[in-house]
Amino acid sequence: MTSTYVATLELAAGAVLLSAVMTLWRRSVSSIVAMLRLQGVALCAVAVDLALHENDRALLVTGALVLVVKGVVVPTVLRRVAKWDPRSRESRPLVNVPASLVFAAGLIVLSYVVGTRITSLSPDDATRLAPLGLATVLVGYFMLVTRRRAVSKIVGLIVVDNGIALVTFLLTSGVPLIVELGSSLDVMLVVVVLQFLMASVRHHSRIDALTELRELRD
């Protein structure tokens, strides 16, 4: 029983990070959104696995919420938003794909180095995996910084958010208060950022109008 728990946890946490890397790797919006969907499902698996292990009903509900929000709602909304974008590919990222993949490898090693210093405080089965969550955060952040298109930036933001959710699950084993805080972050992302994007899409009737704007600079 325990070993299934550990194996599932390892696999799901690995899948979260893998899908983060895949969002850097792939170019077409549809496959990037598919990766986000995978990430949401993997995150849900982490939560459910922890919940079953610790007999925590609240966490089980959280897992279901994660599945609905990150596995279904966010990717679906994102896909709809992306339809407004005339270009379906990230044509000119600030850092090209091979370089960003190599950079991501560096970030993963970095988060391993930093993360193990944190997790050495209590090296149990869940906590040990926290460096994977940190790496997801860094990869998402990198995507946010180096990609130009609005949709890619939002994907980066969501990856950062998922990574933080993973770290939270692993480090705190789903303490109610913390999890509620985290879910308010998701609300902010989904409601505000996407709502905002939709509003500006209605205003400009094009999504990339936002990122093409270069009015404000010094």
Footprint of other proteins on this chain (CB under 8 A)? 3, 7, 10-11, 13-15, 17-18, 21, 25, 97-99, 101-102, 104-105, 108-109, 112, 114-118, 120-122, 128-129, 131-132, 135, 137, 141, 144, 150, 153, 157, 160-161, 164, 167-168, 171-172, 175, 177-178, 181-182, 184-185, 188-189, 192-193, 196, 199-200, 203-204, 209-210, 213, 215-216, 218
How buried is residue 10: exposed, middle or buried, by Cβ count under 10 Å (0-12/13-18/19+)? middle
Residue 73 CB partners (closer than 8 Å, separation 6+)? 190
Q: 51 vs 108, which CB is nearer to other proteins?
A: 108
Nearer to other proteins, 13 or 48 (CB): 13
Phi, psi of 28 (to 5 degrees): -75, 140
Contact status, residue 90 vs residue 155, Cβ threshold 8 Å: no
- Measured from the CB atom, the residue of 65 and 95 that comes closer to other proteins is 95
DSSP 115-168: HHHHHTTS--TTGGGHHHHHHHHHHHHHHHHH--SHHHHHHHHHHHHHHHHHHH
* Alpha carbon distances (Å) from 15 to 8, 98, 166: 10, 21, 11
Q: Minimum CB separation from other proteins for residue 111, in Å?
A: 8
Nearer to other proteins, 41 or 167 (CB): 167
CA 153, CA 150: separation in Å to the nearest integer? 5
Q: What is the spatial distance between Cα 215 and Cα 129, in angstroms, rounded to a whole number? A: 44
> Which residue, 57 or 214, is less far from other proteins as judged by CB?
214
